[in-house]
Structure 1
Amino acid sequence: MPRTAVPRHAVLIFSGGLDSAVTAYKLRDEGVTVSLLSFNYGQRHVKELAHAADLADQLGASHDIVDLTSLGRILGGSALTDPAITVPHGHYRAETMRSTVVPNRNAIMLEIAAGAAVAAGADAVAFGAHSGDHAIYPDCRPEFFTLIEASMKAANEGHIANDFRLVAPFLNLTKADIVREGVRLGVPFALTWSCYEGGAAHCGACGTCVERQEAFAEAGVGDPTIYVPAQEGAVR
């Protein structure tokens, strides 16, 4: 069966962050039925799941949250899952950001999403990785994309159509490109959550907050995000 330009139905890894939100809106704009799948893996910024739920309501899309908290307890060594490790502040491409890597996180989530997609009769799994993730996160690189897509197909041979695929529309684009696309699609950026600290407002200083601010600035788009006061470390 020839591979169509866009899938019919995609199960999207949905964190409630900017990247996954724009991915959801983009797929919907292309006529794709989108099922949203979020994960509670014991992350310190678990409040992102409430943002994911609000965005799902805005999209009118189905939304499920997978409880992986027991698994999260054994994925130690990451600032996102271990309260003893401080979330690093600074540029998101700095070497210190390696402490935010959660071992095998995307592979685990994507393979669960593949199972959900097969069970639902969907023809795609999607996630919002982009080029800015490549330096620090190996499970966001094109090489990983190719291998995990092959794994999904091999694991479900005989149960999926030939055109089943993994979709990552921003894999080789920048976060600024994602912001520009989000503007075109009318994404409610203020509802998205990026900060790894998980406080009352975005800290403005952790790697993902810095990346978020730089993306809006580079795209020439006003940033609606509420950050903690500048004297507390927010990057402006």
Structure 2
Amino acid sequence: MKTIVICSGGLDSVSLAHMVARERDLTRLVSFDYGQRHRKELDYAALCARRLNVPHDVIDLRAIGAALTGSALTDDIDVPDGHYAEESMRITVVPNRNAIMLTVAFGVAAARGDQAVATAVHGGDHFIYPDCRPAFTQSFEAMQKLALDGYADVSLYTPFVHRTKADIVTAGARHDTPFALTWSCYKGGEHHCGRCGTCVERREAFDLAGVADPTPYDDPDFWIEAVARKERG
């Protein structure tokens, strides 16, 4: 099945791209510049596209992102430290971000003759990101069937939506994903900070999956404290 992958350059979407390349007909990667704090992740998406020998579309949504104010990912607001599932991480929500990106990606798929759009939303996203939850992805696919009725038949592929990030690490390892060539950190420094929600979740996922983490972190042990704090409630 001809499938495009929405790829941010992060661990989840790059692992998905490698899986789709093995199991389906990967036709292209689509990334979005929505005015996020840094473009570093897009460089890793470009590396992935070159590695898998597929086109890479970077779609400029900066004007839209500028209107979606109030997020630490788009505004001059400090990114909080801690586990992804903490209440403080809600400041990283960009309202409707996934819904907007998926809508554009479905349009690209329809225009290019692709049969599916793949996105790496997973169970760990459900707590703070409503447009990553199964109810949303199911409803979105149904809406797109109506939006493209008579023009194209494009399905939504979300293999991780009921799975954990540790499951993604396991799947990524099985499909030879070069984890060192992925970028998760929200802060965009020289190395992963080790303290923001995505860094903590990334480090924890490798530990739970029993897979060696090749990522250099500025604070490699903070995740232990963050996980313990989350478990204490």
Structure 1 distance, partners of 2:38, 2:80, is 14
Shift of 1:194: 0.2
- Aligned partner (choices 209, 216, 219) of residue 206 of structure 2: 216
Contact 1:133 1:140 in 2 (8 A): yes
For the residues of structure 2 that align with 1:81 and 1:171, how far apart are their CA atoms? 25
Distance in 2, matches of 1:219 and 1:45, equals: 29
Q: 1:98-146: per-residue Cα shift (whole Å, max 9, x none)?
A: 0000010000000000000000011111100010111111010000001
Indicate yes or no: 2:20 matched with 1:30: no
TM-score normalized by the length of structure 1: 0.92
Secondary structure at the counterpart of residue 73 of structure 1: helix
Which residue number corresponds to residue 50 of structure 1? 43
Q: Is the 8 A contact 1:195 1:203 kept in 2?
A: yes
Which residue is 2:228 aligned to? none
1:14–1:37 contact (8 Å) kept in structure 2: yes
Partner in structure 2 of residue 107 of structure 1: 99
Is the Cα–Cα contact under 8 Å of residues 2 and 27 in structure 2 kept in the other structure?
yes
Matched position secondary structure for 1:235? helix
Alpha-carbon distance in structure 2 between the residues aligned to 1:75 and 1:168? 25
Counterpart of 1:86 in structure 2 is: 78
Distance 2:188 2:215 in 1: 14
Secondary structure in 2 aligned to 1:159? coil
Aligned to 1:191: 181
Partner of 1:182: 172
Q: Which residue of 2 aligns with 1:136?
A: 128
Shift of the 29–151 alpha-carbon distance from structure 1 to 2, 3 Å rule, reads same
The CA RMSD measured in Å over matched residues stands at: 1.2
Structure 2: how far apart are the matches of 1:113 and 1:229?
36
The answer on 1:70 being equivalent to 2:63 is yes
The number of residue pairs the alignment matches comes to: 224
Q: CA contact under 8 A between 2:83 and 2:223: conserved in structure 1?
A: no
Could you tell me how far apart the structure 1 residues matched to 2:197 and 2:180 are? 19
Structure 1 stretches of 5 or more lacking a match? 1-7
User: C-alpha displacement at 1:47, in angstroms?
Assistant: 0.9
Q: Is the CA contact 2:123–2:133 (under 8 Å) kept in the aligned structure 1?
A: yes
| TM-score w.r.t. length of structure 2 | 0.93
Give CA-to-partner distance per residue, 1:55-112, whole Å, 9 cap, x none.
Answer: 11111111110011111111101000001x1101101100000000001000000000
Is 1:40 the counterpart of 2:30? The answer is: no
Instruction: Determine if contact 2:195/2:219 at 8 Å carries over to the other structure.
Output: no
* Aligned counterpart in structure 2 of residue 168 of structure 1, from 158, 166, 184: 158
Q: Is the 8 A contact 1:27 1:34 kept in 2?
A: no
SS of 1:146 mapped into structure 2: helix
- 2 CA distance for matches of 1:185 and 1:58? 13
